[in-house]
């Protein structure tokens, strides 16, 4: 726990009385730096901090922001943030808790939220709004859920340690240098030095950045996984071998390009909705544009997506299935009707995922909600009520 020791050192440097009794000046049996003691102190500090937040909140109505958060253990976790207005009229955003969940389905999240509310004495009657990670909406689709599981595994195995992260950076840098010198043929964006980002590193919307970087660094990621897979001493040998099989599959390549495009359409909206100073009119316009672009993608985007996926697979020597052949999944039930690969990828994945995102946007921003938000925007004090519209309010 390097952060703990660094904070203790800073505290000691700032306060002479503390410096006299901690770290190298502490008695042999009272250093308070063992992992167990550090964990106890951090937990105690977390409890005290949370109590202050709950006390400050009181009976004030609040909204809830929920996001998926994973650490190197790859366990599913739910991060919870509360949003409220304090007694001075200031909008306050406080991190409240991280809770382990079995999965990210609605029922599991609901049960976990109820546990947190019970633990901290919060009332559902005070809850005024809820916000969830945009990518989590996709996870109502089990096929896409499995895809994000694989992406998370890649991030944790390849970038889970400084050594493996540096290995990835060095391999990517060598390829960029080769591109710059003309030794390799460049593809779109391949001459950029980049790195893999975990979705949790930059809050919501970063799933889009993660998928883009995974596409740009695909060959470097595969190289690192092969090194780990061939290392008999590595504890991640089995995981790396399995991930190589997953990445060397048309199914993964298809979902990678599909989700990059879908999240790219909603990325600007996601970023705008996370800003503290929101322009409601602009947000509603982005909602409209996002719905329109998703619909256009569903109507006309299949051929271009399939062409791009085919080009990607040819480049990395990934086997491309015949779309007229019967689809055979890894865990496919024999009782299900026989489907072609074309039907599986176009109907079960392409159409289903786009429709799911459209349904979510329509549910959260229906006609009534949108009209209400636009009316609220008319009362915005900024620029001397420049957005005031008497006819809309009447």
Would you list the domain boundaries of the chain?
Answer: 58-132, 142-377
Angle, vertex CA 232, rays to CA 226 and CA 233, nearest 5: 115
Give the model's pLDDT for residue 73.
55
Residue 58 φ/ψ region, left for φ over 0, alpha for ψ in the -120 to 50 degree band, beta for the rest: left
pLDDT-derived band of residue 255, with 50, 70 and 90 as boundaries?
A: very high
Give CA–CA dist 97/80, Å, rounded.
Answer: 5
- For tokens 């840098």, the residue is 173
Residue 361 and residue 287 in contact, taking contact as beta carbons nearer than 8 Å: yes
Residue 21, pLDDT score: 76
User: Residue 351: what pLDDT?
Assistant: 92
pLDDT at res. 239? 85
| pLDDT exceeds cutoff 50 at 201 | no
Whether the per-residue pLDDT at 331 is higher than 70: the answer is no
Contacts of residue 13, Cβ cutoff 8 Å, sequence gap at least 6 = 19
User: Which of 7-11, 254-258, 281-285, 365-369 has the least mean pLDDT?
Assistant: 365-369
> What are the tens digits of pLDDT across the range 359-389?
888 887 776 666 666 566 555 555 554 555 5
- Rounded to whole angstroms, the Cα distance separating 391 from 394 reads 5
Whether the pLDDT of residue 197 is over 50: the answer is yes
Looking at residues 306-310, what average pLDDT do you find?
95
- Of the pLDDT bands very low, low, confident and very high (cuts 50, 70, 90), residue 260 is very high
CB 53 within 8 A of CB 96: yes
pLDDT at 92 over 60: yes
**pLDDT at 94 (0 to 100):** 87
Residue 12 and residue 22 in contact, taking contact as beta carbons nearer than 8 Å: yes
- Give pLDDT, residue 183: 45
In 3-state terms, what secondary structure has residue 379? coil
Q: Which range, of 7-21, 179-193, 292-306, 371-385, averages the lowest pLDDT?
A: 179-193
Higher pLDDT, 333 or 45: 45
Confidence bin at 336 (pLDDT 50/70/90) = low
The size of the chain, in residues, is 394
Which of 11-20, 70-79, 152-161 comes out lowest in average pLDDT?
70-79
When mean pLDDT is compared across 99-113, 225-239, 289-303, the lowest value belongs to 99-113
Query: Is residue 179 over pLDDT 50?
Result: no
For 94, phi and psi rounded to 5 degrees?
-125, 130
Binning pLDDT at 50, 70 and 90, where does residue 104 land? low
pTM (whole model) above 0.85: no
Per-residue confidence at 308, pLDDT binned at 50, 70, 90? very high
Mean predicted confidence (pLDDT) in 63-92: 76
Q: Which tops the pLDDT comparison, 1 or 233?
A: 233
Chain centroid to Cα 82, Å, comes to 18
Using only C-alpha atoms, what is the Rg of the chain? 25
47-66: average pLDDT: 86
What was the pLDDT predicted at 194?
52
**DSSP assignments along 319-358, one per residue:** PPPPTTSBP--TT--TTSPP-BHHHIIIIIIIIHHHHHHH
Q: How far is CA 150 from CA 209, 244, 245, in A?
A: 16, 11, 11
Which pLDDT does position 186 carry in this prediction?
43
Which pLDDT band holds residue 203 (cuts at 50, 70, 90)? very low
Query: What whole-number distance in Å separates Cα of residue 257 and Cα of residue 139?
Result: 16
């Amino acid at each position: 726990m390097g952060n703990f020791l660094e904070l203790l050192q800073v505290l000691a440097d700032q306060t002479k009385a503390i410096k006299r009794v901690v770290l190298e000046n502490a008695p042999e049996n009272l250093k308070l730096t063992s992992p167990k003691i550090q964990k106890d102190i951090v937990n105690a500090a977390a409890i005290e901090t949370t109590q202050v937040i709950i006390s400050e909140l009181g009976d004030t109505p609040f909204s809830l922001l929920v996001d998926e958060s994973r650490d190197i253990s790859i366990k599913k976790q739910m991060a919870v943030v509360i949003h409220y207005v304090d007694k001075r009229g200031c909008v306050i955003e406080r991190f409240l808790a991280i809770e382990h969940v079995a999965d990210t389905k609605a029922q599991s999240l609901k049960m976990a939220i109820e546990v947190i509310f019970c633990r901290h004495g919060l009332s559902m009657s005070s809850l005024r709004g809820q916000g969830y990670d945009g990518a989590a909406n996709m996870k109502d689709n089990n096929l896409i859920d499995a895809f994000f599981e694989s992406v998370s595994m890649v991030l944790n195995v390849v970038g889970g340690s400084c050594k493996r992260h540096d290995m990835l950076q060095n391999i990517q840098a060598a390829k960029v240098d080769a591109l710059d010198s003309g030794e390799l043929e460049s593809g779109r964006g391949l001459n950029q030095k980049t790195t893999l980002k975990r979705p949790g590193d930059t809050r919501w919307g970063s799933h889009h950045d993660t998928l883009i970087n995974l596409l740009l660094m695909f060959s470097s990621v595969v190289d690192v996984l092969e090194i780990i897979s061939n290392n008999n001493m590595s504890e991640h040998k089995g995981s790396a071998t399995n991930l190589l099989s997953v990445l060397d599959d048309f199914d993964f390549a298809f979902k990678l390009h599909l989700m990059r495009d879908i999240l790219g359409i909603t990325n600007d909206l996601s970023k705008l909705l996370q800003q503290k100073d929101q322009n409601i009119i602009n947000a509603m316009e982005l909602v409209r544009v996002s719905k329109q672009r998703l619909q256009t993608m569903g109507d006309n985007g299949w051929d271009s997506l399939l062409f791009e996926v085919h080009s990607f697979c040819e480049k990395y020597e990934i086997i491309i299935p015949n779309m007229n052949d019967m689809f055979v999944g890894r865990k496919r039930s024999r009782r299900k009707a026989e489907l072609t690969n074309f039907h599986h990828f176009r109907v079960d994945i392409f159409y289903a995922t786009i429709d799911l995102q459209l349904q979510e946007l329509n549910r959260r921003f229906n006609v009534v909600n949108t009209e209400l938000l636009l009316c609220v925007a008319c009362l915005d004090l900024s620029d001397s009520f420049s957005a005031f519209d008497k006819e809309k309010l009447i």
